[in-house]
Chains A and B, each alone.
Chain A
Amino acid sequence: MGIAGLPKKEANVLRGHEGAVLAARFNGDGNYCLSCGKDRTIRLWNPHRGIHIKTYKSHGREVRDVHVAPDNSKLCSCGGDRQLFYWDVSTGRVIRKFRGHDSEVNAVKFNEYASVVVSAGYDRSLRAWDCRSHSTEPIQIIDTFSDSVMSVCLTKSEIIAGSVDGTVRTFDIRIGRELSDDLGQPVNCISMSNDANCILASCLDSTLRLLDRSTGELLQEYKGHTCKSYKMDCCLTNTDAHVTSGSEDGFIFFWDLVDASVVSSFRAHASVVTSVSYHPKDDCMITASVDGTIRVWKT
């Protein structure tokens, strides 16, 4: 895929959030997307038609992250109210609330079977919550981090999390091992490549770093954008050919994965781009910003 394949044309603008949108995520097949923001709501959209479908309200403070189960039946969300909410997508009801984090929860993810929700909190811990049982106690607390945990990724057998203490830690459940990759810079967001071999870590020194997961080797660094104080997302395109991230000045950057050159960058939003999410199959991307809009980008 060349540069032409990058989604640079604005296809839709999703308006409705009052205030900053903190995260926008495609669902598993990329037909819908979810967003959450400072207005304490989670919204479900059809980004391709630009339709707002549903609003989920229950959070007491801003919603920082949302994730949808692979079967699209459940949602989990987290935010400033120190709780995780486990939602039923169709009815919009909260099935369960998981309390236990000592402060704000930064990120949340379902595992493959949607049986466990793993959350990363400002309280320097990762917590795993059981969706199957009625217990609202965490089934696992990982507190080896020495600073706020910003982002979490899950594979079939691993929990990967990035923290402000500069480490990306991989917890291998199968072996019972913790691998800590110290990047030396606060890690803002991590995202996994689609072949699951690499981890892209967004550091607060305005650098994206690509790590080899098996060896912990630093493969590439991507620079050019600004990321110094906001929690911002980064991701790889669905072909793993490019790396993309927002910038604090409202720009979106695309880098070539291999030679780390800025392939494209353009102003997408009026303010900080908080979140980027790439379509799992098509050349489509959604970006969310502090300006309260979510924009859908296509080729």
Chain B
Amino acid sequence: MDADEEDYVFYGTPIEREEEMTSRKKKAVAESSGLLRSLPPWKQEVTDEEGRRRFHGAFTGGFSAGFYNTVGSKEGWAPQSFTSSRKNRAEVKKQSIFSFLDDDEIAEMEGHSLGTSLQFDTFGFTAAELARKQAEKEQQQRPSAIPGPLPDEIVLLATESIGVKLLLKMGWRRGNSIKDSHTNSLYDARREARKAFLALSSDDVSTDLAVSEGVKSDLQNAIELPANDDLKSSESTPVYVLNPKQDLHGLGYDPFKHAPEFREKKRLRMSGKKELGLKNDLFAFKSRKVAPGFGIGALEELDVEDEDVYASGYDFEDNYIQEVEEPSGLVIESKQKLGSKEKGVLSGFKVASKLDYQLERFDPPVVPKNFVPHHKFHAPLDDSNKHDGDPPPPEAIAPEDNNLKLLIEGVATLVARCGKLFEDLSREKNQSNPLFSFLTGGNGCDYYARKLWEERQKHNDKSKQLLDVKSSPTVQKMTAESRGKILGERPLERSSRDTNSSVASADVIQLQFNLSDTFTKPASLKELSEIAKPFKEDPAKQERFELFLKEKYHGGLRSTDSGGASNMSEAARAREKLDFEAAAETIEKGLRGKESNLSTQQFMEMSATAVMEFAPGGLEQAKVTQAEELVIKKMYPKREEFQWRPSPILCKRFDIIDPFMGKPPPAPRRRSKMDSLVFTSDSVKSTTVDETVTSKLPVAQLDPQQFSTDVNAREIEVNMEVEKVERPVDLYKAIFSDDSDDEVENSTSNQVDDPKRKIEAANTTLNRLMAGDFLESLGKELGLEVPPDMPQSINKARTSAPKKESNDVNPGNISSLAVENKPSSTYTAVKGTSVNQEAPHDKAYDQESTQEVRSQNNELMLDSPSGSKIKVTGSSENESSKIKAEKMDQEGRKAKTPTGHRQNWSSDSSSEDERSRKRSRRRRHRSDSSDTDISSDHQDRYHSRSKGRKKGSSREKSSSSRRYSKHHKRGSRDSPSRSSRHSSERERSESKREKRR
């Protein structure tokens, strides 16, 4: 057989022999017939009717499930399956004994279960509990002290009284009476015992039985009594019912004591009122107007937004309100009764015709006619006060005798201080003394009079100051004369000796200073006929503004609280002052604008490109000056453009390619106060550079913050550049080769040049120069030394500028232009670095631009200096990516010019840098190989030319600048009509340069 099988080839599956099958079946039958049942259970092997072992599952029985494999069969139990879904959670099953018992077993168990029964109320607790619950139920129906559905459990006492505590410790239970139930029974028992004793002693045996019976019964009673007593005691203390006193009767007074029918009436009325009150509570939302029909959630507060802003005396057509407020029958009834009560007619009563009780009124006391409601003080006024009104005695010449003069002065002060009495006294005393003759009208009399008056004045002032503290101490009483003296005026009659001369010198300065403080000089503006109201919204502010204007233009007395209300902080005041200045300036400008009859168009342009534009925060109101109101309609709508970065997912959902794909996340847009200043857009300015006075805005001064950040950004780059300057000669290969290309290209492109491009180039040049200015100052700061080689770069830049035929354009032209823009700056060599910085970016864009085949027309549109953006958006769809790039190019350039859209594009420029760098790197990798030869042979070519062009300039000196100038030029020449050869070659050289870097 084996040998045969090796020889044959079998197809298909062999048919199973019948005998095998039958034998197995037989076996199974035999086994099931009880052969195996004799075996112990653990040795048995369970099979199905086919004789196979069935596997039920690892956790549901294994091979042998249930009693003799009865699982799943009719007589077996069904295996539990665990299912749990979100909708239908499987609850945690707790197994108890019942889950393992049959029904009959459970029924059997039931009989033995233990439970509590009300029947066994041994101590009466249950009954007490029930009673209390009942009382509580009643309590709820009763009016509560606190309105609303407040359960009384809440206001239970927190602590129990000591008595309750003690009682509890002694075994008292709540609801039981305190009375000792045993005392009574004991007493009774004793009494009975005494009776029995008496009876025993007095009576014979015949009564014995009866007595014993009695005693027995008494004893029984005594035994029974406690139980009864317990039952009684459980009811003995009623639950204290909180029934708040709501009427105005005295305590314990029951008005319905003898007329219970009124009690019922009153109860009905009260219930009606309560129901109504409840309704009021629900629907009257704290007296505020609330949108009808809808409440708010239980957890929400009533907010402003819930007020019905639309409710303006309009009633809804729908009748749903009536549904809500359908009153119950009881209420109607009570209302009817209430109505009858209002008439004052109770059944069986009628209104009294005459009132017994009358309120007695008393007239107020009569005030005597001569009564003055002021209190008079009897203390005598200072007698010197009466001299106030006196005209001052004329100036008198002091006597020549110094002693006499001193004496007079001394007496005068004393008299002034002590009063007239002293004068009289001294006069009497010294009548004979010739020295005191001035008192009686002798020598020096008039001087004395004068002196006395002066002293009195002084004294008066002092006392006055003491008297009323309110008078400000700074206000010094000054006579016309003394003030005149201080001011240096010449008095009409001037004595040779100025008594106050000593006072003057210090005071003069003081007073004059004060005067300058108090008075302001008018500014030169004359016609501020109508007062502009830029702060209409804030009357107080407007007032202050007007004051400010007045001060500025009219002069006059300076207000005490100039520069803001006293309650304003210093910073706020300063800000406001700035606001005012700005507003005043705009007004002035507006007036000037009107004067010079600028056309609205011009004015619009001016204000659109104006120095200051007020941001919506804070300064906004200044916009609405009256002068500008004339053009306000023309000014709006005003369009502004910002960069906005949609999130990638948003782009995806809108089915749009992310315009910022692969770019680093942008810096958050700055929202500082300086953002409110919109600078002249550089496109507009370039056309009107020479005439816009407004664009002379000193940027650095206005916005130091932003500049500092920029400076930081550029510092790094500058440092890099400096490093580059020191690089070996092979660096120049790239440059020179590149340059030679440029020269060739220049010659060709010059012919294709059109005026628009020239203008554009000029603009870019200008921008560069301005950037250069900035960087030059920066370089100074950093202490960098870059050889002064600017003229050449300018020359190169100007090759494509209008005067292309003359390569040696005077650099002064441009420089002067630049200086005009930024008067503070001067040219030095640092300018070279700036140009260099920009070069890579421009180059990057150039590459991009050359990669894409563009139409000349489009390019022109894009590059035209004014209104380019709008045209970009207007251009056709399929060029969008190109346009995008182009626009970014522009933007990037703009960002680099210091006066560009600084705040709008600040983030953009950085990202732009990033991108360009990346791109250039990529390109570098691509065109790594084939560059050295080209560059080398270009090198000498350049040498000769450069030497020819600028004589005597050493290479070391101009090394950096030469390179920069080249880049510069390229940047300026954004020509679309460049041949592909040029671009590719340039690309190569560029990439090479990049690599070296």
Contacts and interface: CB of A to CB of B under 8 A. Distances in A.
Interface string A121-143: 00000001010100000011010
A174 B880 contact: yes
Contacts of A142: 644
A182 B637 contact: yes
B642 A180 contact: yes
B632 interface: yes
Contact of B294 (A19, A157, A291): A19
B617 interface: yes
Contacts of B310: 19-20, 38, 230, 271-272, 290
A165 interface: yes
A39 B637 contact: no
B470 interface: no
B265 to A, nearest CB: 40
A179 B653 contact: no
Nearest to B292: A19
A140 B658 CA distance: 13
Contacts of B637: 168, 181-184, 209, 211, 216-218
Given A140-B647, A165-B616, A174 B659 contact: yes
B659 A156 contact: no
Interface string A86-125: 0000000000000000001000000111011000000000
A171 interface: yes
Interface string B186-213: 0000000000000000000000000000
B616 A139 contact: no
Most buried by B among A157, A171, A174, A176: A176
Given A177-B643, A218-B637, A271-B310, A139 B320 contact: no
Contacts of A290: 310, 314
Given A139-B649, A184-B632, A292-B316, A174 B656 contact: yes
Interface string A257-299: 0000000000000111000000000000000001111000000
Interface residues of A, number: 59
B640 interface: yes
Interface in B625-654: 632, 635-647, 649-651, 653-654
Interface residues of B, number: 50
Contact of B305 (A61, A132, A157, A183): A61
B929 interface: no
A40 B717 CA distance: 60
Contact of A173 (B616, B638, B656): B656
B291 A175 contact: no
A216 B635 CA distance: 12
A15 interface: yes
Contacts of A181: 637-639
Contacts of A171: 644, 646
B642 A177 contact: yes
B419 to A, nearest CB: 74
A18 B293 contact: yes
Contact of A271 (B292, B314, B632, B655): B314
Contacts of A224: none
B659 A175 contact: yes
Contacts of B651: 173
Contacts of A18: 292-294, 316, 318, 320
A246 interface: no
Nearest to B657: A174
Contacts of A5: none
B318 A292 contact: yes
A233 to B, nearest CB: 15
A58 interface: no
A214 B874 contact: yes
B650 A116 contact: yes
A157 B291 contact: no
Contacts of A31: none
B292 to A, nearest CB: 6
Contacts of A165: 616
B886 to A, nearest CB: 12
Interface string A214-249: 111110000000000010000000000000000000
A71 interface: no
Contacts of A146: 616-617
B708 interface: no
Most buried by A among B296, B647, B874: B647
B312 interface: yes
Nearest to A250: B314
Interface string A144-156: 1010000000001
B291 A38 contact: yes
Given A18-B293, A184-B637, A272-B310, A214 B653 contact: no
B297 interface: yes
Contacts of B880: 174-175
Contacts of B142: none
Interface string B255-299: 000000000000000000000000000000000000111101100
Contact of B312 (A112, A175, A271): A271
Given A18-B318, A19-B292, A179-B641, A173 B654 contact: yes
Contact of A60 (B297, B641, B657): B297
Contacts of B636: 182-185, 218
Given A19-B291, A174-B880, A291-B317, A130 B297 contact: no
B310 to A, nearest CB: 4
Contacts of A20: 291, 310
B166 interface: no
Given A178-B643, A290-B310, A80 B305 contact: yes
Nearest to A61: B305
Most buried by B among A115, A144, A184: A184
B660 interface: yes
A281 B635 CA distance: 37
A216 B641 CA distance: 11
Contacts of A115: 653-654
A192 B649 CA distance: 25
Given A116-B654, A182-B638, A184-B632, A176 B660 contact: yes
Nearest to B306: A61
Given A18-B318, A176-B646, A271-B312, A116 B659 contact: no
A178 B641 contact: yes
Contacts of A272: 310
Contacts of A128: 647, 650, 653
B943 interface: no
A11 B636 CA distance: 40
B929 to A, nearest CB: 37
Contacts of A113: 653-655
B870 interface: yes
Interface in B862-909: 870, 873-874, 880, 884
A7 B134 CA distance: 69
A231 B581 CA distance: 37
B653 A111 contact: yes
Interface string B292-328: 1110110010000110111010101110100000000
A114 B26 CA distance: 71
A180 B318 contact: no
A144 B642 contact: yes
27 contacts: A18-B292, A19-B294, A19-B308, A19-B316, A40-B294, A61-B296, A62-B291, A113-B655, A139-B650, A139-B653, A140-B646, A157-B654, A165-B616, A171-B644, A172-B644, A173-B659, A174-B656, A174-B880, A179-B639, A181-B637, A181-B638, A182-B636, A182-B640, A184-B638, A214-B870, A218-B636, A292-B316
Interface of A: 15, 18-20, 38-40, 60-62, 80, 104, 111-113, 115-116, 128, 130, 132, 139-140, 142, 144, 146, 156-157, 165, 168, 171-185, 209, 211, 214-218, 230, 270-272, 290-293
Given A174-B880, A271-B314, 7 more contacts: A38-B308, A113-B654, A144-B644, A179-B640, A184-B637, A290-B310, A290-B314
Counting from the closest, the 6 A-B pairs by CB-CB distance are A216-B639, A178-B644, A176-B659, A290-B310, A184-B636, A178-B642
